[in-house]
Chains A and B, each alone.
Chain A
Amino acid sequence: MVLTNEYILQRLTEKFGEAITQVEEPYGLLTFEVPKELNLKVMQFLYDDQELGFRFLTDLCGVHYPDQLGRELAVVYHLHNMVQNVRIRMKVFTDVQQPDVYTATSLFQSANWQERETYDFYGINFVGHPNLKRILNVEEMDYFPLRKEFPLEDQTRIDKDDEMFGRGGSI
């Protein structure tokens, strides 16, 4: 049978009911949100189900929405059913004070480094991860650089004159 977005959604809502929220289809890719406590359960269901069979984790990354109080950080999973060639996108939101999300490493080995990367840049704490430490940045770093509160350039720098580059400056 052909795996359509409607069918995937129907199966998910049958199993998890109200937990599946924010359903969208931007550019044809089924996108939905699940509560962060359920991320592993939903992924396990998507993995194990004979018809759904999302057994390939294409991509895992974090996003920071500083304006959404209580749900500032997001983890975005792109899952792929290679047999039927269907992709879905699953999101999990967490607050920035205690950003705990269950790790997906028990299902996908590929999540290991991707979660470390997400931790490195967003500080999302993947509960149960076997080796959660920084991967691309130096270990001594004490902030999470891809969060929005870190400007790209240090705006307080005084060792160069930005006046000529249209970026503020002394005038």
Chain B
Amino acid sequence: MSEIITQEQHHVKLPEGSIGKQTTTLNLGPTHPATHGVFQNILEVDGERIVSAEQTVGYIHRAFEKIAERRPLYQITPLTDRLNYCSAPINNMGWHLTCEKLLGVKTPKRVDYLRVIIMELARISDHLICNSIVGVDTGAFTGFLYVMQYRELIYEIYEEVCGSRLTTNIGRIGGFERDFSNTAFQKIERFLKEYPVVLKEFENLFQRNRIFMERTMGTGGIAADRALNYGFTGPNLRATGVDYDVRVTAPYSSYEDFEFDIPVGTTGDNYDRWLVRNQEMWQSLRIIEQAYRKIQDFKGEEASVYHADVPEYYLPKKQDVYTKMEALIWHFKIIMGEIDMPKGEVYQAVEGGNGEVGYYLISDGGRAPFRLHFRRPCFIYYQAFSEISEGAMLSDAIITLSSLNLIAGEMDA
């Protein structure tokens, strides 16, 4: 056939060697519904088996690192929202902690505990999405729809604390913009009461479900040493059996005051990743409960502290701006970004939904960072996808994609 009609006669340009090829090239993405995000996989498939995979990322690259070089610190917080938008508060807190480390701000205990509550809620909502999406990709839609109610409740808590839901911009350097309202505490209480029942049901739906187990066990696995070499962190690394968790190895925001376990898996496959995330949700609940109790224990003046005393970086109350000279001056200077920050180099990591979210900030003493680099766990571990999926079935690779919890926003920064 190829002898009769040549490519030139048809005026088509096919890639070199594509006529005699035994495999099929398949584009998975960038807008395929199964990738749950904007990234492309160019798969070479032999029947339904993947021979090789090449990834293309960058479809929603927004040059945050460049933008940050022109912004004062507080204006960078909304950029961090848009990294891992499934758990934006963790990114926000990580950024505040980075600034606080650079500026030498010490936050009060109550602020730390409030932050811990928000961060753990964010972790639950992140894992909730990931685990239920793994369910959807294996054909079980019910669980996903059911737990959405509780993600909604988490979003309502955010809304009560900061006014927004998905891209939260929650908290400020030194603390929170306002104290938690009574409604917020009531909603947290409601969450603590109702969610364990739902999570148990969700767990029952999947954990020992034979169809789910057979779809996920033994697929998408990676060994611990390969995972470490690929820079895995977070639940994906813990599923391989490495108990690395930033909350324990480098505690921030008073995580050392809490009692919790780090669940680990053994094989690092899709099922283990699911189990680790599921267990982490239980642990997060434990942490939230403890933090909530600790907050109730504060007495007197301490019971209403919600920010540190840093007038250079923490916006004064609007009422004070209108009536007090000093507050007016600070307000002006902060809003206009006229405060020079100290020189220094900071690396601060937090345990995000997907792993170690790191902020590397270089300040040359100016008003905006000289250089800001985000360590985005997704970007780093997505490299391993071709190794993980080689030789796997196409349908298993889809589950692997969702159980790795790839978030396009985090990948592309």
Chain A residues proximal to chain B, CB less than 8 Å: 26-27, 29, 31, 55-59, 61, 63-64, 76, 78, 82, 85, 87, 89, 108-110, 112-114, 117, 121, 135-137, 145-146, 150, 152
Asked if B373 is an interface residue, CB under 8 A from chain A, the answer is: yes
Out of A27, A78, A89, A109, name the residue touching B230 (CB < 8 Å): A109
B303 within 8 A of A: no
Interface of B is mostly: mixed
* Contact indicator A152/B66 (Cβ below 8 Å): yes
Task: Tell me whether B180 is interfacial, beta carbon within 8 Å.
Answer: no
B24-32, B131-139, B242-250 - interface stretch: B242-250
Known: A31-B345, A89-B347. A58 touches B358 (CB 8 A): yes
Which listed residue (A27, A109, A114) contacts B346, Cβ 8 A? A27
Q: Contact: B61 with A137, CB < 8 Å?
A: yes
Q: Mark B46-82, 1 if CB is under 8 A from A, else 0.
A: 0000000000011001010111011000000000000
Verify if B126 is at the interface (C-beta below 8 Å from A): no
A/B interface sample: 22 pairs, CB < 8 A: A27-B345, A27-B346, A27-B347, A55-B228, A56-B231, A58-B231, A59-B347, A59-B375, A61-B373, A63-B371, A78-B358, A82-B242, A89-B345, A89-B347, A109-B231, A109-B383, A110-B230, A135-B58, A136-B57, A136-B58, A137-B61, A152-B66
Chain B interfacial residues counted at CB < 8 A = 40
Say yes or no for B344: interface residue by CB 8 A criterion. yes
Known: A56-B228, A110-B231, A136-B412. A82 touches B380 (CB 8 A): no
| Closest residue of A by beta carbon distance from B102 | A27
Residues of A contacting B371 in the complex (Cβ-Cβ under 8 angstroms): 63-64
Residues A152 and B61 in contact, CB atoms below 8 Å apart: no
CA gap between A82 and B229 in the complex, in Å: 12
The reply to whether the CB of B195 lies closer than 8 angstroms to some CB of chain A is no
Is there an interface contact between A78 and B231, defined as CB atoms closer than 8 Å?
A: no
What's the Cα separation between A113 and B123 when bound, in Å?
Answer: 26
Closest B-chain residue to A31, C-beta based? B345
Q: Tell whether A26 pairs with B344 under 8 Å between CB atoms, given A56-B228, A109-B384, A113-B379.
A: yes
Are the CB atoms of B249 and A85 closer together than 8 Å?
Answer: yes
Q: Does B272 contact A (CB under 8 A)?
A: no
Min C-beta distance of B29 to chain A, whole Å: 15
**When A and B form their complex, what is the total count of cross-chain residue pairs whose Cβ atoms lie within 8 Å?**
86
Question: What is the minimal beta-carbon distance from B69 to any residue of chain A, in angstroms?
Answer: 7
A61 to B347, CA, bound (A): 12
> A residues within 8 A CB of B380?
110, 113-114
**With A and B bound together, what is the CA distance between A139 and B226 in angstroms?**
30
B321 within 8 A of A: no
Closest partner residue, chain A, to B59 (CB atom):
A136
CA distance A58 to B374 in the complex (A): 11
Closest chain B residue to A138 by CB distance? B58
- Which residues of B from 340 to 359 have beta carbons under 8 Å from A? 344-347, 349, 356, 358
| A108→B226 CA distance, assembly (Å) | 10
Task: Identify the closest chain A residue to B384 (Cβ).
Answer: A109
CB-CB < 8 A to B346: which residues of A?
A: 26-27
Kindly provide the distance from the CB of B366 to the nearest chain A CB, expressed in whole angstroms.
12
CB-CB under 8 A from A82, the residues of chain B are 228, 242, 244, 249
Chain B positions 226-244 with a Cβ under 8 Å from a chain A Cβ: 226, 228-231, 242, 244
Contacts of A57 in B (CB 8 A): 231
Q: What is the minimal beta-carbon distance from B285 to any residue of chain A, in angstroms?
A: 27
Chain A residues near B63: list those with CB within 8 A: 145
